[in-house]
Structure 1
Amino acid sequence: MYTCLAIDDEFSALEILTSYIAEQTNLKLIKAYSNPLIALSEITKRTKPVDIIFLDIEMPGINGLELAELIKHQTKKLIFTTAHANYAINSYELNADDFLLKPISQSKFERATTNLFSNDEIVHPPENEFILIKSKMQRNQLIKLKIADAIAIEAQEKGTKIYTKNEVIFSNSSLSEIAIFLLKVKAFSQIHRSFIISENKIKILERSHVVLSNDLKISIGRKYADFYHKMTNKN
């Protein structure tokens, strides 16, 4: 059974989260906190890490991103819960294991926790797996983006530019919105504040940049410098 802590200043959201945990036979709630400062005080004194911390982001006194930096050593897995999609990239920069966008349905919660401790990492996305994005050319109509075909996603002033095997798609979906789904797939990484790439589509890897299968050259941002070491240490 996996031990859990839940932190959210909204009582209704905390109540929903704790009820979901209670209904999972493999999860055990140790404590739920509505005050993040009390959570910080108590969690930093723990002598043993818990298995999962569910953490809201927008909270008074200290936000969830700041709190995560101080308590992430006290948990094996970290899942952010928030109503704001724009925090997705920040959460994955903190090596969060998942990002649940409120309102959180029970099915979403169960999907996030079921395989959390599985050793089977996704390296190649299934051929039939896709996400829905807003098409700029088709007046915000939702279209399917086949994940296996995606090469890179570039943030634009409004929306994103998506490079795929067969075409370039302009979308009104933000990089943060797309990151919620793509950064869960182990074959995708953010290497620059404006770019998420498919690791499987890297043709040339240098410390300063990558060249992808479509010959797109992208600089590796200083904030993401450990990406080079991550890739070279894979073997």
Structure 2
Amino acid sequence: MLPYKAIIVDDEAKARSLLRNFLEEYCPQVLVIDEAPDVKTAVKLINKNEIDLVFLDIEMPNENGFALFDYFNSPKFKTIFCTAYSEYAIKAFEVSAVDYILKPIGIQKLIDAVNKLEGYHLHKENQLKILQDNLSEKRIKKLAVNIGDGMIFLDLNDVFYFEADGSYTHVHHKEGKHLAVKKIKYFEDLLCTDARFFRIHRSYLINTELLKKYSKKEGLFVSYDDQVMLPISRERKEEFEQFMQQNNLS
């Protein structure tokens, strides 16, 4: 089935234009029918044109890109995610999305994603139902971390804590540590619904499930071993203890 009739869904006009130009120049098997700045417009275009492929941004005003799937009981279109937010990557792959491209979009990454369409088949299970189930989880299984010269994927079960360092963050985990090109606030916001993680100090966001000790003597601190002791700010003490009790971690 060539060419693939496609639409681009992104709230940024420049991003839509750039992707459209790339597709027209480097991906002749894709025919861009139209563009949509939001989910509701995308729904109308899909219904009107029997779209085969959607290039979908995720973080958009009013409705998250994943809301698109709420409008279809049994979607026939395939999806390639195009977003600046790496934290959704694992969930996209778990539901067998065709591909996930991280902005700024690289030409070869785009070509590779489109080429995957040829051998792509839907699983017997409804992949979009699985997508919605995964998105309803309160835990992110893995974390995509930009480390300057590339990206690594860390299992959050292995992360001890995040340590602020100006505009950067040291991610301490079982295999060592990495310097992430993000402020600690980014990770705090990302993990705000995850019952494992708590910001005990302006410099530390910790995985409470891996704690070995919480001490109220000689200053407030938590530790993972005898060498690493992290301070708890006094203004966070009461909230931290409540957090531990609510999540059965005390």
With normalisation by structure 2, the TM-score equals: 0.47
8 Å CA contact 1:153, 1:161 repeated in 2? no
Identity %: 27
- Give the distance between the partners of 1:4 and 1:104, measured in 2 at CA: 17
Alignment-derived partner of residue 7 in structure 1: 9
8 Å CA contact 1:78, 1:96 repeated in 2? yes
Letter of the 1:22 counterpart: E
Letter of the 2:22 counterpart: Y
Alignment-derived partner of residue 125 in structure 1: none
- Give the distance between the partners of 2:71 and 2:112, measured in 1 at CA: 27
Residue by residue over 1:139-196, the C-alpha shift from the partner in whole angstroms, topping out at 9 and shown as x without a partner, is x686999xxxx9x94442434757xxxxx5654569xxxxxxxxxxxxxxxxxx99xx
Map 1:1-235; keep pairs closer than 5 Å: 1=2, 2-23=4-25, 24-43=27-46, 45-46=47-48, 48=50, 50-71=51-72, 73-118=74-119, 153-155=155-157, 156=159, 157-158=161-162, 159=171, 161=173, 168=175, 170-171=177-178
Structure 2 stretches lacking a partner, 5+ long: 122-144, 163-170, 182-194, 197-250
- Give the distance between the partners of 1:13 and 1:39, measured in 2 at CA: 16
- Give the distance between the partners of 1:144 and 1:22, measured in 2 at CA: 28
Structure 1 or 2, whichever has the larger Rg, is 2
Letter of the 2:112 counterpart: R
- Give the distance between the partners of 1:119 and 1:39, measured in 2 at CA: 22
Would you say how many aligned residue pairs link Structure 1 and Structure 2?
148
Give, in angstroms, the shift of residue 103 of structure 1.
0.7
Give, in angstroms, the shift of residue 119 of structure 1.
5.9
Residues 67/94 of structure 1: CA separation in 2 closer, same or farther (3 Å cut) = farther
Residues 55/173 of structure 1: CA separation in 2 closer, same or farther (3 Å cut) = same
Q: Secondary structure at the match of 1:57?
A: coil
Alignment-derived partner of residue 214 in structure 1: none
Q: Secondary structure at the match of 2:82?
A: strand
Give, in angstroms, the shift of residue 91 of structure 1.
2.8
8 Å CA contact 2:83, 2:103 repeated in 1? yes
8 Å CA contact 1:82, 1:102 repeated in 2? yes
- Give the distance between the partners of 2:57 and 2:77, measured in 1 at CA: 17
> Aligned-residue CA RMSD in angstroms?
3.8
8 Å CA contact 1:65, 1:91 repeated in 2? no
Q: Which has the higher contact order (CA 8 A, sep 6+)?
A: 1
- Give the distance between the partners of 2:172 and 2:95, measured in 1 at CA: 23
8 Å CA contact 1:51, 1:76 repeated in 2? yes
Structure 1 stretches lacking a partner, 5+ long: 121-132, 135-139, 163-167, 175-192, 195-235
